[in-house]
Amino acid sequence: LEFRRVLFRSPLAQPYHMNPLDYWYQTNPSLKSYLDNYFDAHIELVSNTQMKEDCTYLYKECSHTERFQVLTLLSALKLLLK
């Protein structure tokens, strides 16, 4: 079981990865809080229900790449709609 856990651990969540954003997100409470608060404050800008569900899934369940894609979308909507 321990071998399996090490074997399938995401390399993106390691501190020695070239771009360890997943690691920082998991280990830095202030960064996690800031990003989560930004997501929560701006997800309502997405008016399409299916797209909002997709964005929520990507943000909550996927890696930093998808998480930052969602935050980029929310930032663009914020600029366009406000």
What pLDDT digit, counting tens, does each position of 20-36 carry? 777 888 888 998 999 99
Rounded Cα–Cα distance for residues 13 and 56 (Å): 20
What is the structure's pLDDT at 26?
A: 81
Rounded Cα–Cα distance for residues 69 and 66 (Å): 5
What is the structure's pLDDT at 12?
A: 54
What is the structure's pLDDT at 13?
A: 59
The CA dihedral of 8, 9, 10, 12, to the nearest 10 degrees, is -150
Q: From residue 18, how far is each of 51, 61, 74 by CA, in Å?
A: 31, 22, 26
What is the structure's pLDDT at 25?
A: 81
The two structure tokens encoding residue 76: 């663009």
Low-confidence ranges of the chain (pLDDT < 70): 1-19
What is the structure's pLDDT at 22?
A: 76
